[in-house]
Amino acid sequence: MTATGERVVLPVSWLVALVGTVGMVASVLVFTEHLDRTAATLQVGVEGIDRSSAVTNDALDAAAALASAPASLGSGVHEVQAITAALGRSVETLGEIRADLRRLHDLFPSIGGPATDAVGSLAAAGGSARQAVALAGRTAARLEEVRAQLRALAPLLDETAARTGRIERKLRILRVSP
């Protein structure tokens, strides 16, 4: 109605245009809301990819660090074997000293007490040295087992590193994609 009380009649085309405009505005609002939700979902996905990338990088760093483990164990095995050989030589030397002290004791019976004590001490030291040789031998054997296990693990780590690289490349592609 106008100020004079007359009724205003709008053409049908204007009414259709008004309804269409309201419909378009409502559609844009709904579409914007869906875009906001999609953007939030994509942001969560990007954050997940970032976390996954960090974990992947940590795994690759760990795999790279493990690559040198067999060589380190190999040098450790050689050192333990050298110690075992040295201990074996010391057992022989202790046995020789013991035999020499026995001969001295037999030649000079007057040094009996101290020589007997020394022979007993050398026998105990020889026993301890033999135990140390056995322990070093077991240690060397265990190190060889660990070295063999690491050699078996190396191809699996290489495969894991390759797969991780492929996954990381795919995740980077997903980050770029909308």
pLDDT band at 8 (very low <50, low <70, confident <90, very high): low
DSSP result, 44-93 = HHHHHHHHHHHHHHHHHHHHHHHTTHHHHHHHHHHHHHHHHHHHHHHHHH
Angle at 110 between CA 109 and CA 116, to 5 degrees: 70
In this predicted model, what pLDDT tens digit does every residue of 23-51 receive, in sequence order?
Answer: 888 888 887 787 778 777 777 777 877 77
State pTM to two decimals. 0.42
Cα distance between residue 12 and residue 137, in whole Å: 103
Tokens of 88: 């074996």
Residues across the chain: 178
Cα distance between residue 175 and residue 178, in whole Å: 8
In this predicted model, what pLDDT tens digit does every residue of 120-133 receive, in sequence order?
Answer: 777 777 777 778 77
Residue 37: count of CB within 10 angstroms of its CB: 10
Cα distance between residue 60 and residue 157, in whole Å: 9
Q: What residues does each domain of the chain span?
A: 12-176
In the chain, the amino acid numbered 148 is A
